[in-house]
Amino acid sequence: MKFATLRNGTPDGALVLVSHDGRHALPVPRIAASLLDAVQRWEAVRAPLEDRYTALNAGDATDAIAFDPHACAAPLPRSPQWLDASAFLNHGRLMEQAFNTPPIPHFDTIPVMYQGASDDFLGPHEDVPLPSEADGIDFEGEFGVVVAPVAMGATPQQAQSAVRLVVQINDWSLRALGPHEMQTGFGFLQAKPSSSFAPIAVTPDELGDAWHDGRVRMRLHVQWNGERFGEPHGGEMNYSFGQLIAHAARTRQLTAGSIVGSGTVSNQSRDAGSACIAERRVIEKIDDGAIRTAFMRFGDRVRMQAKYDDGRDGPFGVIQQRVAQATAPQP
């Protein structure tokens, strides 16, 4: 099934099913008020949602409407928690060089993960308000999963079975603020503003063979101001989502609706390009001896879209956003 959330003035928005071809949407208020509600009551609502989804794709849903991605909030405008990993070791090792930090112990055997803000996710076409260009504005393209309840101490196999939805994410970063926060030992806060999501969340079966071994085996095509930036492949993810979820649940349970991210999609091949500016900058430094690429400026735009290996558009839709200067709060 494919889901989206339409903005309606409430914190969680209105849930709709989205047709296979992405042209039509079907409100389902009698089944679930929101996607968070659906995930939290999954076993009770799955069958009626599947029935309505079948009717929508067969053209039998008389109350279907045109699907407009610009009317969408994030699939989950807010979540119990947002946990982001660095599951592509190539990216993590490049970032060690970028931030001049010592190697992380056991990086290739124990995932690294931080807890970010989950109370104010951005929709796929919303402007991204940020306070200062001097903060080092950067995009980060990645994939994520939304989970059912996960028991403390779950195995990777048990954790993998808890995946309910797969999502595409732009995890915004403020690179000038990151090094200090990492050195404090308390993790990211100001360096990680609200993340953005593609309009459509999908059940894993919608991906077909592109969902395999707990990984999204698709290319994430990234453009910056209309120019190609990269299309790294999600199949190079070193830790599966099952492993990431189990890591998060080692000492605590996860509630339904929690989101676990892969971290920036990154490939060893330079030809794949990158999914964030910081990675390109450190590659420039390593390969050419000097950084040439600046971070984003107000008015810059970024576009992200996952695609299948055969070139077909992926099921998540498009993230296309503009960076804007945040307005000062009114007294």
Q: What is the pLDDT of residue 99?
A: 63
DSSP single-letter state for residue 210: G
pLDDT over 70 for what percent of the chain? 99
Give the Å distances, CA to CA, from 214 to 49, 257, 301. 24, 18, 31
Across 194-221, average pLDDT? 98
Question: Using CA atoms, how far apart are residues 60 and 39, in angstroms rounded to an integer?
Answer: 25
Across 138-151, average pLDDT? 98
End-of-domain residue from the set 71, 93, 111:
71
- Structural domain contains residue 77: no
Across 125-151, average pLDDT? 98
- Structural domain contains residue 10: yes
Residues 89 and 60 grouped into a single domain: no
328, pLDDT greater than 90: no
End-of-domain residue from the set 37, 71, 105:
71
Across 173-192, average pLDDT? 84
Indicate the pLDDT class of residue 185, thresholds 50, 70 and 90. confident
Tokens representing residue 297 in the block: 């400026």
Question: Using CA atoms, how far apart are residues 117 and 186, in angstroms rounded to an integer?
Answer: 14
Question: Using CA atoms, how far apart are residues 172 and 193, in angstroms rounded to an integer?
Answer: 6
Residues 254 and 157 grouped into a single domain: yes
Alpha-helix runs per DSSP H in the chain: 35-40, 42-58, 89-99, 156-161, 178-184, 241-248, 277-288
pLDDT over 90 for what percent of the chain? 86
Angle at 53 between CA 51 and CA 59, to 5 degrees: 105
Residues 34 and 138 grouped into a single domain: no
Residues 13 and 103 grouped into a single domain: no
181, pLDDT greater than 80: no
> What radius of gyration, in Å, describes the C-alpha atoms of the chain?
19
DSSP single-letter state for residue 153: T
Q: Which residue has the tokens 């099934």?
A: 1
Indicate the pLDDT class of residue 232, thresholds 50, 70 and 90. very high
- Structural domain contains residue 24: yes
- Structural domain contains residue 244: yes
Q: Which residue has the tokens 């605590």?
A: 252
Give the Å distances, CA to CA, from 273 to 75, 124, 286, 325. 28, 22, 15, 28
Residues 139 and 198 grouped into a single domain: yes
Of 11, 162, 16, nearest in space to 78 by CA: 11
What tens digit of pLDDT does each residue of 233-247 get?
Answer: 999 999 999 999 999
Sign of CA dihedral 12, 161, 260, 273: negative
Q: What is the pLDDT of residue 98?
A: 64
104, pLDDT greater than 80: no
DSSP single-letter state for residue 233: B
Residues 304 and 205 grouped into a single domain: yes
92, pLDDT greater than 90: no
149, pLDDT greater than 80: yes
Q: What is the pLDDT of residue 306?
A: 98
Least confident segment among 101-110, 153-162, 208-217: 101-110
Across 106-120, average pLDDT? 91
- Structural domain contains residue 50: yes
Residues 178 and 284 grouped into a single domain: yes
- Structural domain contains residue 259: yes
Per the structure, the complete domain to which residue 282 belongs is given by 82-325
Residues 49 and 122 grouped into a single domain: no
5, pLDDT greater than 70: yes
- Structural domain contains residue 330: no
What tens digit of pLDDT does each residue of 34-69 get?
Answer: 999 999 999 999 999 999 999 999 999 999 999 999
Q: What is the pLDDT of residue 18?
A: 98
- Structural domain contains residue 76: no
Tokens representing residue 204 in the block: 């894993």
Q: What is the pLDDT of residue 330?
A: 74
Residues 49 and 186 grouped into a single domain: no
* Domain total of the chain: 2
Across 69-91, average pLDDT? 96
End-of-domain residue from the set 18, 52, 71:
71
Residues 53 and 95 grouped into a single domain: no
Of 233, 257, 243, nearest in space to 213 by CA: 243
Q: Could you tell me how many residues make up the chain?
A: 331
Q: Across the chain, what does the average pLDDT equal?
A: 95
What tens digit of pLDDT does each residue of 265-315 get?
Answer: 999 999 999 999 999 999 998 889 899 999 999 999 999 999 999 999 999
Residues 48 and 114 grouped into a single domain: no
Measured in whole angstroms, how far is the alpha carbon of residue 87 from the centre of its chain? 13
Residues 61 and 115 grouped into a single domain: no
Q: Which residue has the tokens 């592509």?
A: 88
